[in-house]
Each structure stands twice: as structure tokens, then as C-alpha cells.
């Protein structure tokens, strides 16, 4: 291999490595915006008042980007789910094993169904908005 060809090849490899590191750091930075504990204050698609859905406690959740997980409560029962985060794209899988207490208000079923429909998110200040397509379906406040 000619020396000039070798230099070009090494330059391309180093340039690609640096570029991929920048993309990885950017995605890590986006996921880090989700860190902390978030409490639900709005959910769409229901005809029952918010406080009627969650009479005892509001749902909350915390993201663990390193483990690709989210865990929290439905306002009644604890849950853990796997997540996929890429930029502002977010998907949350079906929750794994959960506690099985009876929940007043019916909000738990609505909350879990809505989590499975999430396609993206946005964080502005202390507000996390979970989005389905282009519709904001849940809103959380950072605690």
C-alpha cells in the first residue's frame, strides 16, 4: 500500500471515530435531560377529571439511561419498563412484573396504555411532555 493511501485511510478512520463519539455524546446529552423524578400532571383521552383518575397519588417515573429503563408508580402500583431513547425519540415497553394492589379511580389502566403509545418527548425547563406522533398526550413536572 502506498504511503499516501495509508495516510488517507488512517485519516478517514480517525475522522469517523471522532464523528461517532460526537453523535454518541449528543444522544447521551438528550437522554440526560430525562434524569430525575417526574410527576404526572396531565393525561389526554379521558373523560374523568385528573384528580378522579388518581385520587390517592399521582403517577411518577424516573429514567435510568444507563440501564435503558424507566421505573416509578402508576399512582398505586410500582412498575419498571425498558426504554429506547434516540435523540428525542422514545419508546417504552410493556411494564415487567408489577405490584398488584387494587387502585381507586381507574387511572392506572389509562396511564399504562398511554405509556405504550409514546413515540417521542420534549423537555422544557421543569416540564416533560410525552408525545404520540405529533400530539402531546402526557405532561410531567420535575420533582
CATH number at residue 77: 2.40.128.270
Distance CA 40, CA 142 (A): 9
Domain that holds residue 124: 33-142
Domain-located, residue 87: yes
Q: pLDDT tens digits for 47-101?
A: 788 989 999 999 999 999 889 999 999 999 999 999 999 999 999 998 888 888 9
**What percent of the chain stands above pLDDT 70?**
78
Mean pLDDT rounded to a whole number for the chain: 84
Residue range 125-142: mean pLDDT, rounded: 97
Position 102 in a domain: yes
Quick check: is 138 in a domain? Answer: yes
**Total number of domains in the chain:** 1
Look at residue 72 and tell me if it is in a domain: yes
The answer to the question of residue 3 being in a domain is no
Residue 22, domain member (yes or no)? no
Report yes or no on 91 lying in a domain. yes
Position 136 confidence tier, pLDDT thresholds 50, 70, 90: very high
d(CA 132, CA 57): 24
Tens digits of residue pLDDT in 3-49: 555 455 455 455 444 444 433 333 444 568 898 999 999 999 877 88
Angle at 71 between CA 66 and CA 77, to 5 degrees: 170
Quick one: 71 exposed, middle or buried, by C-beta within 10 A (0-12, 13-18, 19+)? middle
Contacts of 124 (CB under 8 A, 6+ apart): none
Question: Nearest CA to 120 among 109, 107, 108, 133?
Answer: 133
How far the first Cα of the chain sits from its last, in Å, is 60
Amino acid at each position: 500500500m502506498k504511503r499516501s493511501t495509508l495516510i488517507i485511510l488512517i485519516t478517514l478512520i480517525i475522522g469517523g471515530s471522532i464523528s461517532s463519539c460526537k453523535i454518541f455524546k449528543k444522544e447521551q446529552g438528550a437522554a440526560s435531560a430525562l434524569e430525575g423524578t417526574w410527576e404526572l400532571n396531565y393525561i389526554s383521552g379521558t373523560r374523568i377529571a385528573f384528580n378522579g383518575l388518581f385520587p390517592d397519588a399521582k403517577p411518577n417515573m424516573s429514567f435510568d439511561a444507563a440501564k435503558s429503563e424507566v421505573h416509578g408508580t402508576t399512582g398505586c402500583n410500582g412498575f419498571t419498563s425498558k426504554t429506547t431513547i434516540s435523540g428525542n425519540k422514545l419508546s417504552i415497553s410493556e411494564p415487567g412484573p408489577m405490584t398488584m394492589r387494587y387502585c381507586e379511580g381507574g387511572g392506572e389502566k389509562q396511564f399504562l396504555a398511554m405509556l405504550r403509545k409514546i413515540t417521542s418527548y420534549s423537555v422544557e425547563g421543569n416540564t416533560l411532555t410525552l408525545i404520540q406522533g405529533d400530539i402531546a398526550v402526557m405532561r410531567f413536572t420535575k420533582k
